Amino acid sequence: MIAKFFKTLIGLLLIPVAIGTGKAFYSLISNISLFSGTLHILERGVLAYLLFHVLIFRPAYLYVLGHEAVHVLATWLCGGKVVSFNISPSDGNVVTSKSNFFIELSPYFVPLYTILLGPAFLVLRAMGMNGPKVSAVFVFLVGLTLAFHFVMTTEVLKLHQPDIIKSGLVFSLVLIFVFNLVIIMAVFSPIFDNLSFLEFLQQSASNTGELYRDLYSKTLGFVNTLELW
């Protein structure tokens, strides 16, 4: 209970980080030309998944598999061990030797299938298959897999997920929001020439610092007003 209280408090304190990151993301994404051929291909990938999801099939098993696989990878990165791994078309469960907020929340902000496209694309390039058609397919699949990640994650977040409950709602949602934007920008920056991941981080830090300074100034002014009474 005490740990959840402190995580909620930290989550509230991190809200300016979420706002600052969101502003930086919107500012840089707005620089992408609306007439960019690459953007149109990405949009087609997003639309293709949305139509598939709504009209044909909801790939829940594929999402559960990726979700639990990310739990496993996060556990290994943190030096833990996987005790058991079980998945079904509607649910999954991984028992690990250790747990922390990164292990619990990483599936909600790591688009595993999008990230796996990177090594696959590099292999194709190494084989000499790096023409415009291959690049177009890659961008299309990035849009498709990102849409899959966000649509399925949004559906899952509507449920009472143990990972979210354990880490605290506010803390979890703030981290999921921020890290999703960071991951998206990391994926988009190599695709679009006028996007810079470093600039995104700098703008996010600048915006966040400005918000914290403004918050501090207003809090100090409020305290001084109380002292005058």
Tell me the pLDDT tens digit for each residue of 99-128.
888 888 899 999 999 998 888 887 877 777
Alpha helices in 60-196, H assignment, sequence order: 60-77, 101-109, 112-126, 132-157, 162-167, 169-188
Residue 223: what pLDDT? Answer: 67
Listed in sequence order, the residues at least 6 apart from 196 whose beta carbon sits closer than 8 Å to its beta carbon are 28, 189
User: Is residue 39 within 8 Å of residue 137, measured between CB atoms?
Assistant: no
Given a cut of 80, is residue 178 above it in pLDDT?
yes
Determine how many CB atoms are found less than 10 A away from the CB of residue 74: 21
Determine the Cα–Cα distance for residues 77 and 75; give it in Å rounded to an integer: 5
Residue 97 CA to its chain's centroid (Å): 25
Determine how many CB atoms are found less than 10 A away from the CB of residue 196: 15
Determine the Cα–Cα distance for residues 204 and 95; give it in Å rounded to an integer: 35
**What's the whole-model pTM score?**
0.82
Determine the Cα–Cα distance for residues 82 and 80; give it in Å rounded to an integer: 7
Nearest by Cα to 80 from 104, 111, 113: 104
Token representation of residue 101: 């907020």
Given a cut of 70, is residue 228 above it in pLDDT?
no
Tell me the pLDDT tens digit for each residue of 20-55.
999 999 888 877 665 567 778 888 999 999 999 999
Tell me the pLDDT tens digit for each residue of 179-194.
999 998 988 888 777 7
The overall average pLDDT reported for the chain is: 85
For residue 92, what are the β-bridge partners? 87
Determine the Cα–Cα distance for residues 48 and 60; give it in Å rounded to an integer: 17
Residue 9 CA to its chain's centroid (Å): 22
* Three-class SS state of 134: helix
